[in-house]
Amino acid sequence: MSDLSQLFPTAAQVAAEFAVPDYLAQRHYLVGGELRQWQGELAPVISPVQLRDEQSGELAAVTLGATPLMDSAAALQALDAAVAAYDLGRGHWPTLPVLERIRHVEAFLQAMSAKREQVVRLLMWEIGKNATDAAKEFDRTCDYIRDTIKALKQQDRADSHFIEEQQVLGKIRRVPLGVALCMGPFNYPLNETFTTLIPALMMGNTVVFKPAKYGVLLIEPLLQAFRDCFPPGVINVIYGRGRETVGALMETGKVDVLAFIGTNKGASDLKRLHPKPHRLKAVLGLDAKNPAIVLPCADVAASAKEIIAGALAFNGQRCTALKIIFVPRSKAAEMLPLLAAHIDALKLAMPWQPGAQITPLPEPGKTEAMAALIADAKAHGAEVVNAGGGSYAGSLMKPALLYPVTPQMRLYQQEQFGPLVPVVPYDDVSEVIDYVIHSDFGQQLSIFGTDGAAIGPLVDIFANQVGRINLNSQCQRSPDSFPFTGRKDSAEGTLSVQDALHQFSIPTLVAAKGSEAGIALVRGMVQARHSAFLATDFLF
C-alpha cells in the first residue's frame, strides 16, 4: 500500500446518500421532561473520517456539530429530576404496573425505529463504523428492546403466583433500586448503552443518561422520543466532561445504580466518589485482553481465519476482540503467513464504501498511540510480519501483525483496543495458563484445537478464570440471551436480556403466616385488588 491518505475521499467523492450529515449545533438536553437550552460552551464533535484536499492532498478534519459542555450545576438538575420522579420509590414510574411501563417502552421503540437512517449515518460519521455494522448495531438494539419486553413479561408471569414454604405464604416480586446513572462506550454508543438503559427503565428505576465520548450526536435524534414517550424526569440526558458532570452526581450519594461501560480505572474513580459505597450497586463492563490459544492440534487454516475476524472486526475496537494470540512455537511458521494473508485481504475504506472492514479510528491520536506500541514491541525484538502493517495516514491504520511478542513488551499486557495483532510463541501450554491466571483481566478467551482430550482439561482450568470460553470461535457478546460477564478488572455483574432485568432490581417479598387467618387476609386483598404487588394477573 503506497499512501493510505489516498483512501480518504475528497468532499466531491462522498456519495450524496452518505454525505456529511448537516452540521448540528446541539444546545438542547433533556431534564424533567423538557428539552432545555444550554447557553454555555459547546464541545465540537469531530469525525474520524477526514476529507482530502484535491489540490494539496492534505487531510482535513470534518466537524459534525457540537454538544453542550454542561457544568456540574446543570448535571445536578438532571439528577434532581430523576430523584423527584423516583420520589423515594413512591413516584408514578416506580409504582406503575409493569404492563404500563412496557407500553411506554413500546412507544419509544416505535419512535426510535423512525430515526434509523439518521442514527446509522451518524454511527458511520461519528465513530467510523462501517455501513453494515452500523445498521446491525441499530437493529440489534431494537431486537434487544423487544426481547427485554418479552423477558419482563415472562418474569412478571412467573412472579405472579404465591408460594408456600414451611407454613409461610409468600409472594416475591422484583422491584426497582432507585436512580440509575447510565454511561456507554464509544464503540457501541447505541447498543451497549441501551442494554443497561432500557432494563433500568423497565424495572421502574429513573435514569440519568450520559452518552459516550464519541458517538454522542447520534443520541440527539432520540431526545424527542425520550421526552415524548416517558413521564417527566424518568429519563434525563446530560452532556459534558465526565469529571465535571458525573463526578458531581456521584458525590451527592443520590445515585443508586452506576451502569458504566469503560475502563476499570474510570469505574473505580466514580465509585470512590459515592459517600456511601455500600448503597451503590454497580453494573460494569470494563477492560479486557482476551487471548486466542492455538493448540498443537488446531486446524491452522480455519483458526487463522477466525482469529483475524475476532481480532480486527471494527478495527479491533471491541471489548471482546481477541487481543493476544498464543501459538505453539512449532506452528508459528505455518500460522503467521496465513494470519498475514487474512489481514492483507481486509479492505481499508471509508465506512460507507461497500465491503469496508478497516476504517478510520475515532479517538484523537489513536494511530500515533498504536504506532508507539509497535515501536515498543520492535525495540524489544518483535517484527511486523505483514507488509505495510502499522503504516498510517491521519486516522486510518493498516493492521499490524507482530511476532514474536514477549512479556517485556507493553502489548503483552496492555489492551490495545485497535488494529494490532500480537502473536506470542509458547513451548508448553503451562505458559499460557500462567498468563491467563495472572492476568488482571478475565472476560473471555478462545481455544483453537481439535483434540477433545487436550481441550477438556483447559476448559476446566479456565472456567474459573474468565466469563466465557469459546471453542474454535472468536470471543463475542452475542447471543444477547447468553450471560455476558467477566472477572477481575473486566466486569462487575452479568448482563443478558434476562440478567439485566435482575441487575436493575431487587427481589422483595410479602410473607404471611400460612394459617387460616393469614390466608384469608391475603386472599381478601387479592380478590378485592387492594394491592398491585399482590395481584396474580397473567400478563398478556
The label of the residue with cell 436512580 reads: 179
Q: Is 476 in the site for ligand G3H (CB under 6 A)?
A: yes
Residue type, 123: L
Q: What is d(CA 88, CA 280) in angstroms, rounded to the nearest whole number? A: 15
Which is closer to ligand G3H, CB of 274 or CB of 477? 477
Out of 187, 196, 205, 416, the only residue in the binding site for ligand G3H (CB under 6 A) is 187
Q: How far is CA 444 from CA 221, 290, 323, 471, 477, in A?
A: 34, 6, 11, 11, 9
Number of Cβ within 10 Å of residue 479's Cβ equals 10
Nearer to ligand G3H among residue 401 and residue 495 (C-beta): 495
Residue 492 lies near ligand G3H (rule: CB under 6 A): no
478 binds ligand G3H (CB under 6 A): yes
**Cα separations in angstroms, 463 against 53, 422, 460, 468, 488:** 53, 24, 5, 8, 14
Nearer to ligand G3H, 127 or 402 (CB): 127
Segment holding 45, helix H or strand E: strand 42-52
- CA 77/CA 71 separation, integer angstroms: 10
Of 126, 192, 287, 492, the residue at the interface with ligand G3H (CB under 6 A) is 192
Q: How many CA atoms lie within 13 A of 38 on its CB side?
A: 27
Site string for ligand G3H, 360-379 (x = CB under 6 A): --------------------
Among 86, 93, 186, 188, binds ligand G3H (CB under 6 A): 188
Q: Does 39 bind ligand G3H (CB under 6 A)?
A: no
Which residues on adjacent β-strands are paired with residue 79?
Answer: none
Region from 219-227, 244-252, 315-323, 348-356 binding ligand G3H, contact rule CB under 6 A: 315-323
- The residues in 231-270 that bind ligand G3H, with binding defined as CB under 6 A, are none
Cβ closest to ligand G3H, residue 475 vs residue 522:
475
C-alpha cell at 183: 454511561
Of residues 191 and 386, the one with the C-beta less far from ligand G3H: 191
Shortest distance, CB of residue 487 to ligand G3H, whole angstroms? 16
- The piece of 175-183, 274-282, 395-403, 471-479 that touches ligand G3H (CB under 6 A) is 471-479
Cell of 219: 443520541
Taking the complex as a whole, the smallest distance from the CB of residue 474 to ligand G3H amounts, in Å, to 8
Q: How many CB atoms lie within 10 A of CB 231?
A: 14
Determine if 319 is a binding residue for ligand G3H (CB under 6 A).
yes
- Judged by beta carbon, residue 206 or residue 320, the one nearer ligand G3H is 320
Site map 133..172 versus ligand G3H, x via CB under 6 A: ----------------------------------------
User: Which of residues 188 and 504 has its CB atom nearest to ligand G3H in the complex?
Assistant: 188
Contacts of residue 114, Cβ cutoff 8 Å, sequence gap at least 6? none
Nearer to ligand G3H by C-beta: 160 or 414? 414
User: Per rule CB under 6 A, is residue 444 in the interface with ligand G3H?
Assistant: no
Q: What phi-psi label fits residue 493: left (phi over 0), alpha (psi between -120 and 50 degrees) or beta? A: left
Q: How far is the CB of 244 from ligand G3H (least distance, A)?
A: 26
Stretch that binds ligand G3H, among 91-99, 360-368, 404-412, 476-484 (CB under 6 A): 476-484
The answer to the question of residue 320 lying near ligand G3H (CB under 6 A) is: yes
Return phi, psi of residue 118, to 5°.
-65, -45
Report which of 238, 218, 10, 28 is spatially closest to residue 126, judged by C-alpha positions: 218
Q: CA distances (Å), 69 to each of 26, 76, 211, in order? A: 10, 14, 12
Shortest distance, CB of residue 476 to ligand G3H, whole angstroms? Answer: 4
In angstroms, what is the minimal distance from the CB of 21 to ligand G3H? Answer: 24
Could you tell me the smallest distance in angstroms from the CB atom of residue 343 to ligand G3H? 19
Q: Is 443 in the site for ligand G3H (CB under 6 A)?
A: no
Distances (CA, A) of 80 to 206, 208, 220, 232: 11, 10, 22, 12
Least Å distance between CB 286 and ligand G3H?
Answer: 10
Shortest Cβ 389–ligand G3H spacing (Å): 23
Q: Shortest approach of ligand G3H to residue 478 CB, angstroms?
A: 5
- Least Å from the CB of residue 140 to ligand G3H: 8
Q: Which stretch binds ligand G3H (CB under 6 A): 122-130, 246-254, 404-412, 475-483?
A: 475-483
Q: Of 196 and 395, which CB lies nearer to ligand G3H in the complex structure?
A: 196
Phi, psi of 230 (to 5 degrees): -125, 150
The strand pairing partners of 51, in sequence order, are 60
Tell me if 318 contacts ligand G3H by CB under 6 A. Answer: yes
Q: For residue 505, give every residue at least 6 positions away whose Cβ sits within 8 Å of its Cβ, in sequence order, or none.
A: 174, 175, 176, 177, 203, 204
Cβ–Cβ < 8 Å for 226, 237? yes
Amino acid identity for residue 101 in this structure? R
Length of the chain in terms of residues written: 540
Q: How far is Cα 36 from Cα 14, in angstroms, rounded to an integer?
A: 34
Long-range CB contacts for residues 106-109, cutoff 8 Å, separation at least 24: 106/149, 107/228, 107/229, 108/145, 108/225, 108/226, 108/229, 108/230, 109/142, 109/145, 109/146
Supply the minimum distance, in Å, between the C-beta of residue 319 and ligand G3H. 3
The count of residues interacting with ligand G3H (CB under 6 A) is 9
Smallest gap from residue 137 Cβ to ligand G3H (A): 9
Please report, as a single letter, which amino acid is at residue 169.
L
> What would the grid cell of residue 467 be?
466469563
Residue closer to ligand G3H by CB (options 174, 477) is 477
CB 403 within 8 Å of CB 449: no
Residues that bind ligand G3H (CB under 6 A): 187-188, 192, 318-320, 476-478
